[in-house]
Structure 1
Amino acid sequence: MGLKKRLAGLTMALVVGTFAFAGCSGGGDSTGSSSAAISGEINGGGSTSVQKIIEAAGDEFAAQNPDVKFTYSGTGSSDGIKGATEGTYAFGCASRELKDEEKSGLTELVFAYDGIAMITHPSNPVSNISSADLTKIYTGEITNWSQIGGNDAPIVVVSREDGSGTRSAVEELLKFEDKLKPDATIKEGNGNVQSTVAGNENAIGYVSLTFVDNTVKKVNVDNVEATVDNVVNKSYPVSRPFLAVYKTDGLNNQTKAFLDFLMTDEGQAIVEKEGGIKVALEQ
């Protein structure tokens, strides 16, 4: 009887082992299924104004999808549009409206809005400048702060590089396209404009709202402060959309998944956390 019991026990162990192996096989199928999960490279580039938002969203998306490699290059809006058109980037970002000649073959996704703050040194007594006077400052018609109620000092005009979406937006909104004064100080990126203005008490520049801190002072435009609420209600005159652009027929699954994520509640919360204005507020 002892032998029979041992044989019965062995038989039962074999049965259990068989089911256990079957369970493992099922797990293998599950692993196979997860291999179809989101993976691969997502390569974006373009506007530096959106960079904080896109990189934060990309980091979170990659954390949720460990097989994704996410990269974003802040090279300017025009480069982002060109890269998306030519396939250098899976998606490009622009911090301005697309020009008619740039729209061919591209799909546009508005994922946020932004106000462009006009900034001066904190010691500058000027607190408001009209749109018309800003145009005159940037085209060289107004050259001294005393002409608009400030100190008797030359105005140091700081602008952005060619291809900057922020520059294109400001020039279009203030109506001085291709008329920037020749001796304007040109800086690449919002951060460089901010630090330049912070270091010169006679300077004026412009940056995305996400780059404003206590080293510079926002100046009202047409008596309206650059705030989220005033951009949303469209009372602040210097504002713009943040766009992701891509070719629909060349969009890979992982990039589509990221752009979808950007428009979820979680993605829009990242937009807001990083200083942008979420699309939901506009609707």
Structure 2
Amino acid sequence: MKIKALGLAAITGIMALASCGGDTGTKQDTPTSGTISISVDESFQPIIESEINTFEGIYKYAKINAAYKPEGQVLKDLLDDSTKIAILSRQLTEEEKAVFDKQNRVPRYTKIAIDAVALITNKENPDSLLTMEDLTKIFSGQIKSWKELDKGSPLGDITIVFDNNNSSTARYVKDSLIAGNNLPANTFASNSHKALIDYVQQNKNAIGVIGVNWVSDFDDSTVVGFLNKIKVVGISENPAPVSTEDYYQPYQAYIAQEVYPLRRFLYVISTEGRSGLGTGFASFVASDRGQRLILKSGLVPATMPVRVVSLGN
């Protein structure tokens, strides 16, 4: 691994010299050194923290200051040019691209992972299997009570909980499930992922929407602690499932096989006009070592194959 790291350092060092055109007398960051600030969708804080810690461990003169924010604020940082590196779960819209065109800035994308949105419920909720049709009706307000899903349910009115009103998960649900319409009146924001999980743990009628990265890394003691508090919902695209085998939870294999329906991509978006530290970090995350960290976290790597093993009887 040391040989690979030295090789990357040599290559990126050459890139830095080529892009800077020699010593201008002003100290600039390079792909493996210097200090930069980046804005990150807070849904991906666990994996990006891991990537940054590993990158800084390899490149001792590199310092990346990450601000974890709701998606809307990350986009604002990028559009305002207060950051040149953003990590988001979508590409830019045509309107957003037009802003960069006016400023003569060119955003570049590096796809780094396939992610998913997870749904969580209280441990005492018997309804841990839902269809996509059920979800559409819940998030559009057509279904407001757990008894409408199961007449024998001991639960009452559904409470929908997101981490933040301006989060990528809220935007994803609106775009993917209810065609951009407004969420119903029984929707609330908890202001953090931990607060969301705590709320679902304490409220039997709640259904929470969270980035799968917060519940996917079984080697992370924090994740294991979260999973002990809640249930992760299984989802079926079949409106009339025949058995429990028609339902899928957001496990890595099911995301990779595209049978878990609530999937999304994760991108590093860069507006650096040269090969700086942001470019070096994006290259690292997309490299073999960075992708192995993605694999370990429970997400699906974007640039390396995932081997799905079938265990027979």
Shorter-chain TM-score range: 0.7 to 0.9
Q: Structure 1 residue 229 and structure 2 residue 230: aligned?
A: no
Structure 1 residues 194-222: Cα deviation after superposition (integer angstroms, max 9, x where no partner):
22111211100111222222211111111
* Alignment-derived partner of residue 108 in structure 2: 107
Structure with max Cα Rg: 1
Q: Which whole-Å CA distance do the structure 2 matches of 1:75 and 1:121 have between them?
A: 26
* Alignment-derived partner of residue 262 in structure 2: 238
Q: Secondary structure at the match of 1:92?
A: strand
Superposed counterparts of 1:109-188, under 5 Å: 109-149=110-150, 150-188=153-191
* Alignment-derived partner of residue 19 in structure 1: none
Do 2:116 and 2:262's aligned partners in 1 also have CA atoms closer than 8 Å?
Answer: yes
Q: Structure 1 residue 256 and structure 2 residue 279: aligned?
A: yes
> Which amino acid is 1:112 matched to?
A
CA spacing shift, 1:37–1:112, aligned 2, 3 Å:
closer
Structure 1 residues 111-132: Cα deviation after superposition (integer angstroms, max 9, x where no partner):
0111211110011101211212
Do 1:121 and 1:204's aligned partners in 2 also have CA atoms closer than 8 Å?
Answer: yes
Q: Which whole-Å CA distance do the structure 1 matches of 2:55 and 2:121 have between them?
A: 37
* Alignment-derived partner of residue 298 in structure 2: 275
Structure 1 residues 226-275: Cα deviation after superposition (integer angstroms, max 9, x where no partner):
211111111111111111111142x5521111111111111111122233
**TM-score for both structures, normalised by structure 1:** 0.80
The Cα RMSD (Å) is 2.3
Identity within the alignment, %: 24
CA spacing shift, 1:276–1:164, aligned 2, 3 Å:
same
**TM-score for both structures, normalised by structure 2:** 0.73
Q: Which whole-Å CA distance do the structure 1 matches of 2:41 and 2:192 have between them?
A: 9
Do 1:115 and 1:228's aligned partners in 2 also have CA atoms closer than 8 Å?
Answer: no
Count of aligned residue pairs for this structure pair = 249
Structure 1 gaps of 5+ residues are 1-34
Q: Which whole-Å CA distance do the structure 2 matches of 1:132 and 1:201 have between them?
A: 22
* Alignment-derived partner of residue 80 in structure 2: 86
Q: Which has the higher helix share?
A: 1
TM superposition outliers: structure 1 runs of 4+ over 4 Å: none
Structure 1 residues 154-213: Cα deviation after superposition (integer angstroms, max 9, x where no partner):
111112423311211122221242320124121223332222111211100111222222
> Which amino acid is 2:75 matched to?
I
Deviation at 1:143, TM superposition (A): 1.2
Deviation at 1:79, TM superposition (A): 2.1
Equivalent residue for 1:214, pick from 190, 204, 228: 228
Superposed counterparts of 1:55-74, under 5 Å: 55-74=49-68
CA spacing shift, 1:37–1:80, aligned 2, 3 Å:
closer
Deviation at 1:40, TM superposition (A): 1.0
Deviation at 1:99, TM superposition (A): 2.8
Superposed counterparts of 1:196-207, under 5 Å: 196-207=199-210
CA spacing shift, 1:167–1:98, aligned 2, 3 Å:
farther
Do 2:270 and 2:278's aligned partners in 1 also have CA atoms closer than 8 Å?
Answer: no
Deviation at 1:85, TM superposition (A): 2.9
